[in-house]
Structure 1
């Protein structure tokens, strides 16, 4: 595993998406926490638990050979001293494919440890409604 360190959750997130678009498995895995309680859920896919299973899931994705282009938007951050949660929209396309895919809703959970901020959970799901509630600000009152 890499000795990469990330001073902020934003640094870790940037490194994750940079590695993703380059299909660089080692760089992508350097962002992940080495905690065995790590979780990764790909859009419409299974839940992978533990760093070994997560590594294998990304390895299989990258072996397909597609070049991904990713843009993120609508980032909402919640941070404390040891945990950060980022909720965002992920706009993924494949190089050479002009199809405009709907955004994916993503939650990234980072923890702060000896190697700085590391990714603990990455959960991405298809968006049910790209023009509705998910784009609006959260309600101020819960009933």
Structure 2
């Protein structure tokens, strides 16, 4: 398997890698998308309702299949970041535009993206997405929850 090339602009932070990832989704560019991923064997990707994909070949294959139907109109929203020296975890909503017979419709996906600082810069090591529901979109975490 060919190693990913550096994303455009050699991202100096996880935010730049995330922007390159979503740009590649929207343009349907598999090379740019895969350049955002680390070349480690244990990277992981889970699409809504899908299997756990491990490694570059499995992840690339899934995105190749998705891009065969066109680009993915996904826009990151409400990004929350937790960063340490060499890792950054982003929790966000993805607003997905779906074209229907009645025109464009929007769906929401709750996603977690994890990035590691590698010798090549910040690279994605995990992407996990699940269908969003109304309570998740309302960000219920703002209210303290007690269990007793």
TM range (shorter): 0.7 to 0.9
Decide whether aligned partners of structure 1 residues 141 and 44 sit closer, same or farther in structure 2, where only a CA change above 3 A counts: closer
Indicate yes or no: 2:129 matched with 1:124. yes
> Would the aligned equivalents of 1:68 and 1:95 in 2 still touch at CA under 8 Å?
no
Aligned partner (choices 4, 16, 22) of residue 21 of structure 2 = 16
Contact 2:6–2:36, Cα closer than 8 Å, also in 1 = no
1:114 aligns with 2:119: yes
Distance 1:133 1:25 in 2: 29
TM-score by length of 1: 0.88
Q: Kindly tell me: are residues 63 and 82 of structure 1, through their superposed partners in 2, closer, same or farther at Cα, counting changes over 3 Å?
A: same
Secondary structure at the counterpart of residue 100 of structure 1: strand
What displacement does 1:136 show?
Answer: 3.2
Whole-Å separation in 1 of the counterparts to 2:120 and 2:130: 28
Number of equivalenced pairs: 140
TM-score (norm. length: structure 2): 0.85
In the other structure, the counterpart of 1:91 is 95
**Deviation at 1:2?**
1.0
How big is the alpha-carbon RMSD for the aligned residues of Structure 1 and Structure 2? 2.0
Deviation at 1:132, TM superposition (A): 5.2
Q: Which residue of 1 aligns with 2:11?
A: 6
Distance, in Å, in 2 between the alignment partners of 1:10 and 1:31 is: 11
Partner SS state of residue 111, structure 1: strand
Q: Is the 8 A contact 1:40 1:122 kept in 2?
A: yes
List aligned pairs for 1:1-143, cutoff 5 A. 1-4=4-7, 5-64=10-69, 66-95=70-99, 97-101=103-107, 103-127=108-132, 129-131=133-135, 135-138=139-142
